[in-house]
Structure 1
């Protein structure tokens, strides 16, 4: 990797580059992905082929697009190393329809699919309690569009931590926004913040349903 390119993430371990490429491939067609990242399709193709470097600005755009924080994408400590497919352990992840969400639960699953535990732990730091759903509305600040399939994990109000991206329920509708312990205004880029005074189970309060963990890295059909 050339040190002449400013802000290069020099010396990426193979497992980290594989993780980044997996995230990019799982994000969808190359043209919309390149547009979200602010690079050309040929540049994206070179990145996927391992012939173009990933600089810090691009790393953070990949993290924002995937919903996985940048340190987790870079750190080999985010989860176990990727193992050979013949040795991989698999877990079934259920898919739910967000239109069936109520304060009492998610309803019955509409599908399930097997995922590798090592991939889940590497991307999200856990393979426990995960489920999948297609978003009913987008969240442009992190590159999420309506219909995007994402991993989620149930969360309670007392488990919320700063900057987590959360699926909330309010007045019978679902909205996406980040948690902040401090009061914050909605930012010009559309980042929507939810602080403790707004959280609760009253009709006009936001009830946390699940943390949005990121997009699926791989699925066996």
Structure 2
């Protein structure tokens, strides 16, 4: 009995070593693709770790090939790098439909503005510009122009957004916001986030507890629509 148990343990150990040895090429290839993409984008590791909401120590392990991301980390990282998660993990040529190889991709720069500088008519001077892949923007948002970045002025639980999150916004034209758009509005107390409804007057929160601004609110002249929120930095909304 003891002999069989020892043999079973030895077999499991051999299988584990075999699996570990098999995984090393995958980790190494993943790390190579990650490092290559980082070099092409010419932005710091700290920037991407922050953009992907991944601890810098974990990001360093991914970059060195000591480990590979799983689950949400993979998707957050691939979105931050603007590449397909399938390509990042497996190196497949099929990089997610309309996304082209990062070496051949065209980039646009999106300005980032300070939330406190936003007014009803101006955004102030940009703090910086952030490069984004045009094909990623076109596929996710349907546009590559008229976009800008700021921080979220308040929590918005319905979409899992928290105050301070970096968000991609678009200006709202003279026609005003459309039904169900999530927007940044400015009221007497400052900027806030709410869903827009072109119906009549609605009580402040809807049935899900989400703040709602109506066409009547805008006509009263105390609340102004500043921008439509198109995406958190890593996800379309």
Q: How does the TM-score come out when normalised to structure 2?
A: 0.57
Residue 168 of structure 2 aligns with which residue?
151
Mapped contact 2:52–2:73 kept (Cα < 8 A): no
Equivalent residues in 2 for 1:46-195 (5 A)? 46=71, 81-156=98-173, 158-171=175-188, 173-183=190-200, 184-185=202-203, 186-195=205-214
Deviation string 1:170-191 (CA, Å, 9 cap, x unpaired) is 1261011111112333125321
Residue 11 of structure 1 aligns with which residue?
none
**Tell me, what secondary structure is at the counterpart of 1:122?**
helix
**Tell me, what secondary structure is at the counterpart of 2:138?**
helix
**Tell me, what secondary structure is at the counterpart of 2:199?**
coil
- 1:141 deviates by 1.3
Question: Structure 1: where are the runs of 5+ without partners?
Answer: 1-24, 31-43, 51-79
Structure 1 window deviating more from structure 2 (86-95 vs 172-181): it is 172-181
Aligned Cα root-mean-square deviation (Å)? 2.8
Residue 210 of structure 1 aligns with which residue?
227
Structure 1 window deviating more from structure 2 (130-139 vs 87-96): it is 130-139
Figure out how many residues of one structure are paired with residues of the other and give that number: 151
**Distance in 1 separating the partners of 2:229 and 2:191:** 13
- 1:123 deviates by 1.3
Mapped contact 2:119–2:226 kept (Cα < 8 A): no
**Distance in 2 separating the partners of 1:210 and 1:117:** 21
**Tell me, what secondary structure is at the counterpart of 2:227?**
strand
Q: How does the TM-score come out when normalised to structure 1?
A: 0.60
Query: Larger relative CO (CA 8 A, sep 6+): 1 or 2?
Result: 1
Question: Structure 2: where are the runs of 5+ without partners?
Answer: 1-49, 56-68, 76-96
**Tell me, what secondary structure is at the counterpart of 1:153?**
strand
Relative distance call for 1:155 and 1:49 in structure 2 (3 A) is closer
**Distance in 2 separating the partners of 1:172 and 1:115:** 33
